[in-house]
Structure 1
Amino acid sequence: MSHDFVIGVSLKMYFSHARTLEWCRRVGALAAAHPAIRTGATELVALPTFPALVPSRPLLGPSIALGAQDVAATDAGPHTGEVGGGELAEVGCTFAEIGHAERRRMGETDAIVGEKVSSALRHGLVPLVCVGEAERADPRTAATVVADELRRVLAPSRARGQIGRVVVAYEPHWAIGRSEAAPTEHISTVCRHLRSTLTEDGHPPESRVLYGGSAGPGLLTELGDAVQGLFLGRFAHDPDALTRVLDETLALKEGSS
């Protein structure tokens, strides 16, 4: 099924194990009943911590896709602390987040991110690729910088003939962790350019471009058709806030029909 919108939620490392499972239980119930999910208009992806992946799967239910917050660049071997794409798929993941700014600050390069994208595709996982400029620039400059970054990190998989579905989360580093998102004009300009980049490079039509970086309820309505969803962090830790975002996707879908 091709969804109009993708809404991703990363729990990062904010919750305890017990609180993570309670969140998954509540969100699983709301997704099962929400018309945006039931009609297929919106795909909801939850990304808990590694220890919570297995117990989260039944709590989230069949309406929500499960994603990991990272994936190893290699498949198996002496890589302490890493988790390979094959194992993630084995426990029920269908998405893997790759290249978040927080991991970039820990030393991940374009080359590492590119190998992780290739690994995800190799194991049938949808790469949720995070891209964004470190320093604030005008929208057109940012669009060029970020599109170049996207092409660099997709280059290894393209060279291997791995042209699969990708979900791109545009997260300008300077907007992460702030009280509000980047300006809507800035987001719209960059995200439209990223969508054109994916189309030009032959990625499947079910690929999507999301906005993340202090995103929350109300933003999707402001952005309209400039984006195809949101990648949420702390503003979706309250399931009621997540419900409001899903309400927005339904209203936008119905308004475009």
Structure 2
Amino acid sequence: MSTVRSHVVLGTSLKMYFSHARTLAWAKDVAAILAAAPAVADGRVEFFVAPSFPALPEAVRILAPHPVAAQDVAAAETGAFTGEVSAGELAEIGVRLVEIGHAERRRLFRETDAEIAAKCAVVLGQGMTPVLCVGEPEAGDPSTAADVVVDQVDAALSAALPATTPRRVIVAYEPHWAIGAAEPAPAAYVQETCGIARERLLQRYPGLTLLYGGSAGPGTLTALGDAVDGLFLGRFVHDPRNLAAVIDEASALLDCFTH
């Protein structure tokens, strides 16, 4: 399914790479970059970041009005769950998106489809947007990869979000085998996988935004054309100047689509 791009979404997760001080310094540098970008000012390029939990309140303040995401959330709404953070508290401090189901959470913490679905439900229940990470564990053919993507999205959303409900959901397609790799997955592979998956998913989830992650960097957005709505960026944007370069790339692509 081909689309005419009028809006690009860029996001990143800082995982556990930064200290608290470095996170806030990075956020201030990024806030200045966003303020200086015309395509961000007019809403054509949207950017969000998921810092660590302790940095969330200050990141929300520094980056306002741009959305800030949490890297995880408790599957329960409240209760005796030591060390967990509820969706309600995240919403209370101004968090607007929550990353759910990343490959590392699935692999290292053995998160199941049921847990991921419960997390999506509590996030949607608080009026926040899930950033649902999906992807196949091993390289194969695009049709099989698209089946995995659709199955994972359905497992996460079908109970909490009835079909055709126009609620915004961000799906970050990250082939597990491409995360942290030297190069992103081949553009033709991503284009075909996302094309098949998007056509099927938009019939059920009309508010869906599809991003590509997995070693995404300079040139990735251009290479993918209109196959995705944006990028979920990795360590490349630990240097804010690299984020500025991707915003410039997104702006140039949008100009091409509108002229």
TM-score, length-normalised on structure 1? 0.94
- After superposition, residues 43-122 of structure 1 pair within 5 angstroms as 43-62=46-65, 64-105=66-107, 106-122=109-125
Structure 2 unaligned residues grouped into runs of 5+: none
- Aligned partner of 2:139 in structure 1 is 136
1:187 maps to a residue whose letter is V
Following the alignment from structure 1 to structure 2, what is the Cα–Cα distance between the partners of residues 3 and 96? 24
1:118 maps to a residue whose letter is A
- Aligned partner of 2:151 in structure 1 is 148
- 3-state DSSP of counterpart to 1:93: coil
Following the alignment from structure 1 to structure 2, what is the Cα–Cα distance between the partners of residues 75 and 203? 26
- Aligned partner of 1:238 in structure 2 is 239
- 3-state DSSP of counterpart to 2:159: helix
Determine which of 14, 18, 36 is the counterpart of 1:15.
18
Number of residues of Structure 1 aligned to a counterpart in Structure 2: 253
Q: Name segments (4+ residues, structure 1) moved above 6 Å.
A: none
Does the alignment pair 1:24 with 2:43?
no
1:41 maps to a residue whose letter is R
2:232 maps to a residue whose letter is F
Does the alignment pair 1:168 with 2:171?
yes
1:68 maps to a residue whose letter is A
Structure 1 unaligned residues grouped into runs of 5+: none
- After superposition, residues 153-232 of structure 1 pair within 5 angstroms as 153-158=156-161, 164-204=167-207, 207-232=208-233
Cα displacement (A) at 1:198: 2.7
**Percent of residue pairs identical:** 51
Q: Deviation string for 1:142-179 (max 9, x for gaps)? A: 11222122111112213599762100000010001111
Cα displacement (A) at 1:71: 1.2
1:168 maps to a residue whose letter is V
Following the alignment from structure 2 to structure 1, what is the Cα–Cα distance between the partners of residues 191 and 147? 13
Go from structure 1 to structure 2 and tell me whether the alpha carbon gap of 1:161 and 1:144 turns closer, same or farther (over 3 Å shift): closer
Conserved in 2, the CA contact under 8 Å of 1:121 and 1:162?
no
Cα displacement (A) at 1:248: 1.3
Cα displacement (A) at 1:30: 0.6
Following the alignment from structure 1 to structure 2, what is the Cα–Cα distance between the partners of residues 44 and 190? 24
Following the alignment from structure 2 to structure 1, what is the Cα–Cα distance between the partners of residues 179 and 128? 25
- More displaced, 237-246 or 184-193? 184-193
Following the alignment from structure 2 to structure 1, what is the Cα–Cα distance between the partners of residues 104 and 205? 29
Conserved in 2, the CA contact under 8 Å of 1:191 and 1:210?
no
Does the alignment pair 1:33 with 2:26?
no
Cα displacement (A) at 1:84: 0.9
1:59 maps to a residue whose letter is I
- Aligned partner of 2:129 in structure 1 is 126
